[in-house]
Amino acid sequence: MKEKTLYNHLMEYKKKIYPFHMPGHKLGRKFKLKNIAKIDVTEVRGTDNLHDPSGIIYEAQVKAAKTFGADKTYFLVNGSTGGIISAITSICKEKDQVLIARNSHKSVYNAILINNLVPIYIYPKVLENGLIGGINPTEIEEKIKNNSHIKMIIITSPTYEGYVSNIAAISKITHKYNKILMVDEAHGSHFRFHNYFPETSLQQGADIVIQSAHKTLPSITQTAMLHIKNDRIDTNRLQNALSIFQTSSPSYVLMNSLDSCRNIIDTRGNKLFNAYVKQLKNCRHRLKAQLKNLQLIDNEIIGSKEIAAMDYSKIVIDCTSADITGAQLDEILRDKYNIQVELSGINHIIAMTSICDSKYGFKKLVKSLIEIDSKLRKKQIKGNKYDIINNARIHYNPKDAFNKNKVEIKLEDAVDKISGDFIIPFPPGIPLIVPGEIITEENINLINEYLELGIEIMGICNKEYRTINIIEEV
C-alpha cells in the first residue's frame, strides 16, 4: 500500500478536483512546474542575492518593473504579507497614525502591531447583497482633514470579490495633503494585461502597490511583488525592511517562478489573455442569462462613489435570493461536481479564474451551476452582512493589546469584553475582530453563524467549547 504522504494526497486532489481557486497556474495545468530541485540553489558566486541584488536577480526585477508598469519592483518570496509589512515599516515610525480600510488584510494589522502604530479606520461601503464595496474618496479627505498627522493611507483594491475603488481620485486627494498611498492590489496582478480588466493602481497614481502574482497569474504560491511609482519612497529604508521581514535564504524556485511568469506575459501574454477573456466573457454571459435563483454578481453598481470598476475574472455567485447558502453551494460543487471554489461565505461563493483555466473548466463550472440552480427555489433575501463590522470600538491599540495578559472564556460570555486575539474568517484573512477591540453581540452572532456553516475561523481557542481569548482586566 502506498504511504499516505502529503505529496500523494495532493496528487489525488489534482486528479479529482478542478480548481477554481488560487494559485493562478491551476495546479500546473497549462505551464508545467518541472525541474524544481535543479534550480533550488542559494546565494553563492554567480547566483546574485535578493537582499542586495546586482546581477541576474536585479535584472529580473528591472524587467518585471517594465512589464507591470512600475518605476521599481521588488520580488517577494513570502507573499504580499512580507511586502505589506515591509512597506509600512519603511514609511512609519512608532506612534505614527495610519489611515486604513477596515477590510484590510491581517498583514496590515500585523504591521501596525509590530511598529506600534495608531490605526484610524475608514469603512468600505457594504452593499445590499452584504458584500464589501469600495472606499469613498470624499471620506478619505475628511479623515485626513480631521487627523492631520496621518502618515499614510492603506486600502485594499480590488476587494476579494473584485470591487475596485476610485484609486485615481484617492491618489489625487492623498497627494494633495502630501501623504503616501499604498494599495493592497494582491488580487489585481493581471489587470494590466487586457482592457477587459480595470486599470492598475499604479496607472492611477498610487505610490506603493503590492500584487500577489500567485493569486491570478501562473506563479507558485508565496510569490508576489512590491511596486513603486514615484521618487517619494526611501528605497534604502524599504530594502532594509524587506531584508528584515523576508527570509535570509530566499527561495530561487520562487524567484524563478516570478521571472518565468513575467517572461510568459512578455512573450505570450496577448494571445493567452485574448483567449482567456473570450472564455470568461462567454462564461459570464451564460451564467447571467440562465441562472434563475442564483445570481452572478456583475456591473450593476459600477460608477458609484465607492466603486469605479469591477474585476470580471472573479465569478461571484450570490445566493441571497435562493434557498441555499454559499457554504452549501460550495459543498455540492465539490462533492457532486468535483469543483473546488476559492471561498464560500454565508451568502456567496467566489470562483477564481486565470489564463490557465481551460475551456473544459469553464464549461464544467457553467453547466454545474445551471444544473444546481434549476433545483433551487426563490426565497426572501436574508440581508446578512459580510464579515466586516462598521464602527469598531478600539479600546487598546493592537500593540498594547498584544502585550496584555489574556484569559480564555466562552464566546457567549464575551460581549463587551476586549479581544485579546485576531478573530479571522479564512479566507480571505480580513479580521472580524482586532486585538484591543471591544467584542459586540453582533460579532458573536456572526462567529456562531460561520461556525455552524463549517467556515474556518482563526482565533477560536477551542472550537468544541467555542472559547476565545480576551484581555484580563485587573
| DSSP of 371-417 | HHHHT--B--------S--TT--BSS-HHHHHHS-EEEEEGGG-TTP
Cα dist from 376 to 131, 213, 321, 340, 422, whole Å:
22, 37, 10, 20, 36
pLDDT band at 261 (very low <50, low <70, confident <90, very high): very high
CA distance 406 to 471: 5
* Cβ neighbours around 466 below 10 Å, total: 17
CA distance 265 to 76: 18
pLDDT for 109 equals 94
* Angle at 19 (CA atoms; ends 373, 186), nearest 5 degrees: 105
Cell of 282: 462567454
Q: Are strands 150-156 and 180-184 parallel, antiparallel or unpaired?
A: parallel
Task: Taking residues 164-184, report their average pLDDT.
Answer: 97
CA distance 192 to 27: 23
Task: Taking residues 98-123, report their average pLDDT.
Answer: 95
CA distance 474 to 471: 9
pLDDT band at 430 (very low <50, low <70, confident <90, very high): confident
CA distance 257 to 423: 33
Closest CA to 134 of 390, 338, 310: 310
What is the pTM for the complete model shown? 0.92
CA distance 177 to 169: 13
Closest CA to 296 of 337, 239, 348: 348
Q: What is the pLDDT of residues 311-334, one digit of tens each?
A: 999 999 999 889 999 989 999 999
Question: Rg of the chain's alpha carbons, rounded to an integer?
Answer: 22
Q: What one-character DSSP code corresponds to residue 33? A: -
Q: What is the pLDDT of residues 368-407, one digit of tens each?
A: 999 999 999 987 655 454 445 667 889 999 999 999 999 9
CA distance 404 to 436: 9
Q: What is the pLDDT of residues 274-298, one digit of tens each?
A: 999 999 999 999 999 999 999 999 9
CA distance 133 to 154: 15
pLDDT band at 306 (very low <50, low <70, confident <90, very high): confident
List, in order of start, the domains of the chain with CATH numbers. Answer: 37-261 (3.40.640.10), 269-374 (3.90.1150.10), 398-471 (3.90.100.10)
SS3 154: strand
CA distance 431 to 376: 32
